[in-house]
Amino acid sequence: MVVGTVLERNVDSGAHEGMAHAGVVLRDVGHAFGRNRVLDGVDLAVGAGVFGLLGPNGAGKTTLLRALATVLKPSHGSIHLLGRDPLKNEDLRQIRRRLGYLPQQFGYYPNFTVFEFIEYFALLKEMPPGRVKAAVALAIERVGLEDRAKSRMKSLSGGMLRRVGIAQAIVNEPELLLLDEPTVGLDPEQRVLFRALLREVAGRSTVFVSTHLVEDVAAACNEVTIMEEGRIVFRGLPVDLTALGEGTGDGVSGDSAIERGYGSVLASARKR
């Protein structure tokens, strides 16, 4: 399909850049839960930047993020993170020190204060002990929770909890940051602040943001990847997706051009 070839060209150039930066390299990664193929032949090579992950429920976004977070080992294919091999114990430890992960379901200890909670993970990430308090304070300021630093976790609203989750993910200034639905529960103003935070944090890191809010992706991401049924069906710039959406007629739903672009990509992927 035309969509595929245009993007394959983008993917190729991205791959060379990715390897140079030793960000994330996935080769033919697949994973199955029993007979359910959740990931199917994923090839990806990226360097620094913010990468949006879009797709319907069950497309495999969460599984992909879990694989990148070293929570899950895929049943086949190879993964290299930050130039290292997570199958080797010492490499795995080094990767995890430079990793930040926010899962979709985020559990917490109700009686910890916000500060204590983030501090716990800063310690588990083996940050130098002398730098922990300052790093935790900075993370709290970056997500705008200064007023709640000493509040107990149980007193926080859903949006605030999410922001605590983001704070623990960024506390160690990770080189690989993985956020699964980070903007759930955030109001529009907070989402704008979050996008600014992403741009600030991206720098020399590789950031993956999985979301079902297309406009989050458009505003903050360098590149968009769309997944469907465990496969990548689109990789390109947000403007490419918008361009696809501008040409569509009736039959494809969506309020904005980029949403229509998203819809048309999914539609053509399903026709295959």
Which residues of this chain interact with another protein, rule CB under 8 A? 31, 33-34, 69-75, 87, 89, 92-94, 96-97, 99, 101-103, 105-109, 113, 115-116, 119-121, 123-126, 129, 133-138, 140-141, 144, 146, 149-150, 168
Smallest separation (angstroms) from another protein to the CB of 77? 12
Centre a 10 Å sphere on the Cβ of residue 147 and count the other Cβ atoms it contains. 10
Smallest separation (angstroms) from another protein to the CB of 131? 9
Could you tell me if residue 82 is left (phi over 0), alpha (psi between -120 and 50 degrees) or otherwise beta?
Answer: left
Smallest separation (angstroms) from another protein to the CB of 11? 26
User: CB-wise, 135 or 258, nearer to another protein?
Assistant: 135
* Contacts for 120 with CB less than 8 Å, ≥ 6 apart: 112
Q: How far apart are CA 45 and CA 23, in angstroms?
A: 8
User: CB-wise, 71 or 239, nearer to another protein?
Assistant: 71
Smallest separation (angstroms) from another protein to the CB of 117? 9
User: CB-wise, 57 or 105, nearer to another protein?
Assistant: 105
Instruction: State the virtual CA torsion across 194, 195, 196, 202 in degrees, nearest 10.
Output: 110
Nearest to 101 by CA among 190, 1, 32, 170: 170
Q: Which residues pair with 125 in a beta bridge?
A: none
Q: How far apart are CA 236 and CA 238, in angstroms?
A: 7
Smallest separation (angstroms) from another protein to the CB of 103? 5
Helix 129-142 × helix 114-124 angle, to 10°: 130
User: CB-wise, 10 or 199, nearer to another protein?
Assistant: 199
User: CB-wise, 81 or 257, nearer to another protein?
Assistant: 81
